[in-house]
Structure 1
Amino acid sequence: MSTERIVVDPITRIEGHLRIEAEADENGFIKHASSAGTMVRGIETILKGRDPRDAWAFAQRICGVCTLVHGIASVRSVEDALDYPIPPNAQLIRNLMIGAQFVHDHVMHFYHLHALDWVDVVSALKADPKATAELAQSLSNYPRSSPGYFSDVQKRIKEFVESGQLGIFANGYWGHPAYRLPPEANLMAVAHYLDALAWQRDVAKLQAIFGGKNPHPNFLVGGAPSAISAGGAATAGMGGTALNDVGLSQVRDIIVQMQTFVDQVYVPDTLAIASFYKDWFQRGEGVGNFLTYGDFPDAGLDDVSSYLIPSGVILDRDLSTIHPLDLNDPEQIQEFVAHSWYDYSKGKEAGLHPYEGETNLHYTGPKPPYQHLDVDASYSWLKSPRWRGKPMEVGPLARVLMLYASGHEPTRELAGYALRTLDLPLEAMFSTMGRT
């Protein structure tokens, strides 16, 4: 049986430093695939010998897209080592910052990293702005959905295309038969792509109010970086730095703005686009194992039962059983380097808990430029984390499944609504489009 080796490098639907090598048979079906991290991060090495209270500032510089989360993980780890519970107000502030990051990240990923897999930008030039407005109005009451609005967006796209410089829309597969949206749906999606750019700029202000700036807001081991003063100078706009009633009112307005965009634009767009690609609800299933550490503690980080998103493990897509997770157990969480460009003092086949982790660089790969990697040997700058030796899927789908399996009613209601709208079974959630 003949096979074809396909290489995608870099993967542009994420931050970027990832390479995929896949083997496809004569029918185009992927039979084997490997992913390789192509950049040395080395944060562990950079942090050696530094004051642990400053670690968050270095840790979150590992990525400019997934801002905040590495900083939160860093200060939490130091507080855990010191057995230092943070004040309730600091916990509330952190939960607000994490929640805002979740919403911001989902919208940004869908529109600015992922949507162009489904949306043909150039096809939008064929759309009727009036018909596009009618389509958008049938999906939600988003106030910008007028023929004039879509006509203006179409003119902007036309200027890009006629200039020969597509800018942010360059290097797409425009016109490919795999695109299925009609021109009006494409124009609507591109318009909302541009709206989401302005929306995320406003949403980022929440991080700046609490953390001083975005990306990479400030953190403080033991609490929150912003002073709190109900009668102090106004935050964000008046030159003051204390968090007060004015700043909290602005936070409230930002949260309303976030929810409005999600309800009126993001969710309707996702369901509308998904309805044209329903076969992708049968593709792209991962290993079937899911893990979440849990988050949004209400009574402190040590009280796992107070988490809004529960901690646990789901195996083999079995939502009837949530296995307990202990992050401190060296038999549960381990990192392996058998196929990575690192060495362990205990040997390449050893698995180490992060508490005992080592970062000893040892590149044995080909000298650039090269066509393919030897995936039977070491081929990546990423380590391989495992739970009890099993590969796990983490992230948004894992969190939704954990909430669903634990009986969280709002999650069950929203997931049920999406599945009913698209006439799909629960198993569709394990797919490429299910993750979308």
Structure 2
Amino acid sequence: MARVVIDPVTRIEGHLRIEVEVEGNTVSDAWSSGTMFRGIEQILRGRDPREAWIWAQRICGVCTTVHALASVRAVEDALGIEVPENATLVRNIIAGTQNVQDHIIHFYHLHALDWVDVTLALKADPAKTSQLAQSISDWPKSSTSYFRGIQDRVKALVSSGQLSLFSSGYWGHPAYKLPPEVNLLAVAHYIEALDVQREFIRVQAVLGGKNPHPQSYLVGGMATAMDGNEPDAVINPERITLLNQLVANAQSFVRQVYMPDVLAIAGFYKDWFQHGQGLGNYMAYGDYTNGNIKDPAGFMFPRGIVLGRDLSTVHPLDPSHVSEYVTHSWYNYAEGDQVAKHPSQGETNPKYSGPKPPYDFLKTDEKYSWVKSPRYDDTPMEVGPLARTLIAYASGNEQVKKIVDDVLGKLSLPPSALCSTMGRIAARALEAEIMVSQLSGWVAQLDDNMAHGNLRIHNGEKWNPDTWPRSCQGFGLHEAPRGSLGHWVEIEDKKIVNYQAVVPSTWNAGPRDAKGQRGAYEAALQGTPMVDPERPLEVLRTVHSFDPCMACAVHVLEAKGNAHLSEALVF
């Protein structure tokens, strides 16, 4: 039995170490370790709750706006503040844009190279690639000369000996299955997606003031002025036209490039609909509504839980049943490390007890990660686009059922096949198509409100701290691109006394709990086939299918080990 270590896992956000035991060229066990300390929660203590979102979104440089949104929702919940419809629409548009952009980046720039051999694109016939592209999509950039130009660019990189963004791949690995022409198609769209995602995220720059880290959130709404007769207003007819154009361009790319590419690649890797099944337990808080965020009945993505891959039943979800263990995490709880604590009572007390680097292996029978172990009713859960898709499908959502059945029909697969490594990839593409369609509707609603003089976008009630109760608690939930995100805040004497964030990659990347139950990564890696343990491409495929964001899960470490980090480090 051999131990294989991947440290760091690249093409993710943050720092992740994966160790697997390999027996007979199959993964028999796995351990997931976040190798960076979590500190943002301490930074928030003692601060004004109205500024919590500014700090919270510095949890990550990629998943920025999702933490801002969960944070303002938590404070609004604690203070009993209702948000105007226009603020909800703007928040939906910003969050939905993040969702689509994130999925495009994940597929092409973080995950595609686990399936695409860039060097084989040099052996492709550009004319055949053109024929293939035109057979699966009406995307205009599909000519022979276009693909020949892409091939020449890749050839120049290879000839230079410096592959630039395509360096450090397992090129030539026997687990790659795509023909040269499909590789060339994917490489061309990899390059094109760089421009698409950069252009599309301008939606956030318009509505949020900047990207990353939008600056227009406010407890009680948004600081995004609306006025159809004011040229200097952030939201005016000219900006609505720009938003519509950006959304339409993204919609074309998702429908004509992203989805066809996923189907094309999945067709050559159908065996990966049988690998990476993992826990089989899926959870979603639900999200996206034009009405009351506290009423799950109006959510576009429904709230619920699926257990044991049983799509016949969606179980109700109560956020009070969420808890976190630190049994195998480098933290201590005052009551002991065998107990689980609800985030409202959560603690972030770091105490590293692992080996000093450099080291060969983790002490996996002890504490081995900076990531905590979230549980729902003491049960590990997988969160993310796959969880949302399965729960919506099992809930009978007609839009989701139609697109899922259509895609699975093209691949001749049952819905249960989504519970897999390749299923996570397909779920992201499905969700991107649903979301990019929804965005145009929210922009239209915003435009209609403005045309009818409905310009209210912030609720100033209770903005004065003198109106607040002496002590209160609240939580804010959001379905971020990577999954279920929750922020919990406790306010006393107008200041934050405790703050906890349980993020998607904490749910998925967490280590074993007090009962020895594995987290989602660890469970999904069991049974993974490996052709060459020296080049663990197959392990990366499953880990990357979750789109890890360890920056969210374990935050930031100050060089001298100071838990109270300076503002310079955060900004």
State the alpha-carbon separation in 1 of the partners of residues 222 and 245 from structure 2.
21
Out of 105, 109, 123, the residue aligned to residue 126 of structure 1 is: 123
Q: Which residue of structure 1 aligns with residue 143 of structure 2?
A: 146
Q: Which residue of structure 2 aligns with residue 236 of structure 1?
A: none
Q: Which residue of structure 2 aligns with residue 369 of structure 1?
A: 358
Where 1:366 maps in the other structure, the secondary structure is coil
Shift of 1:110: 0.3
Q: Residue 50 in 1 paired to residue 47 in 2?
A: yes
State the alpha-carbon separation in 2 of the partners of residues 232 and 35 from structure 1.
53
Q: Which residue of structure 1 aligns with residue 522 of structure 2?
A: none
Where 2:222 maps in the other structure, the secondary structure is coil
Q: Residue 387 in 1 paired to residue 379 in 2?
A: no
Out of 302, 308, 322, the residue aligned to residue 333 of structure 1 is: 322
Q: Which residue of structure 2 aligns with residue 97 of structure 1?
A: 94
Where 2:268 maps in the other structure, the secondary structure is coil
Q: Which residue of structure 2 aligns with residue 258 of structure 1?
A: 250
State the alpha-carbon separation in 2 of the partners of residues 419 and 340 from structure 1.
39
Shift of 1:353: 0.8
Out of 330, 344, 367, the residue aligned to residue 333 of structure 2 is: 344
Shift of 1:66: 2.0
Given that 1:41 and 1:62 are in contact with CA atoms closer than 8 Å, whether structure 2 keeps it comes out as: no
Shift of 1:297: 1.8
* Equivalent residues in 2 for 1:15-414, closer than 5 Å: 15-25=13-23, 27-218=24-215, 219-233=217-231, 240=232, 242-327=234-319, 329=320, 332-414=321-403
Shift of 1:98: 1.3
Where 1:343 maps in the other structure, the secondary structure is coil
Given that 1:55 and 1:75 are in contact with CA atoms closer than 8 Å, whether structure 2 keeps it comes out as: yes
State the alpha-carbon separation in 2 of the partners of residues 425 and 10 from structure 1.
35
Given that 2:61 and 2:212 are in contact with CA atoms closer than 8 Å, whether structure 1 keeps it comes out as: yes
Structure 2: gaps (5+ residues): 426-571
Shift of 1:93: 0.8
Given that 1:139 and 1:268 are in contact with CA atoms closer than 8 Å, whether structure 2 keeps it comes out as: yes
Number of residue pairs the alignment of both structures matches:
424
Decide which moves more: 318-327 or 379-388. Answer: 318-327
Shift of 1:241: 5.3
Shift of 1:242: 2.3
State the alpha-carbon separation in 1 of the partners of residues 56 and 354 from structure 2.
27
Deviations 1:164-191 (CA, angstroms, capped at 9, x unpaired) = 1111100001111211111110011000
Q: Percent identity?
A: 55
Given that 1:210 and 1:225 are in contact with CA atoms closer than 8 Å, whether structure 2 keeps it comes out as: no
Shift of 1:46: 1.0
One-letter code of the match for 1:324? P
Give TM-score, length-normalised by structure 2. Answer: 0.73
Q: Which residue of structure 2 aligns with residue 237 of structure 1?
A: none
Deviations 1:398-434 (CA, angstroms, capped at 9, x unpaired) = 0001110111111111111111111112211001001
One-letter code of the match for 1:163? S
Where 2:310 maps in the other structure, the secondary structure is coil
One-letter code of the match for 2:64? T
Deviations 1:212-245 (CA, angstroms, capped at 9, x unpaired) = 1111112111111211111222xxxxxx452211
State the alpha-carbon separation in 2 of the partners of residues 431 and 225 from structure 1.
42
State the alpha-carbon separation in 2 of the partners of residues 128 and 17 from structure 1.
39
State the alpha-carbon separation in 2 of the partners of residues 172 and 323 from structure 1.
42
Given that 1:125 and 1:187 are in contact with CA atoms closer than 8 Å, whether structure 2 keeps it comes out as: yes
One-letter code of the match for 2:333? Y
Decide which moves more: 418-427 or 258-267. Answer: 418-427
Give the 4+ runs in structure 1 shifted more than 3 A: none
Shift of 1:303: 1.3
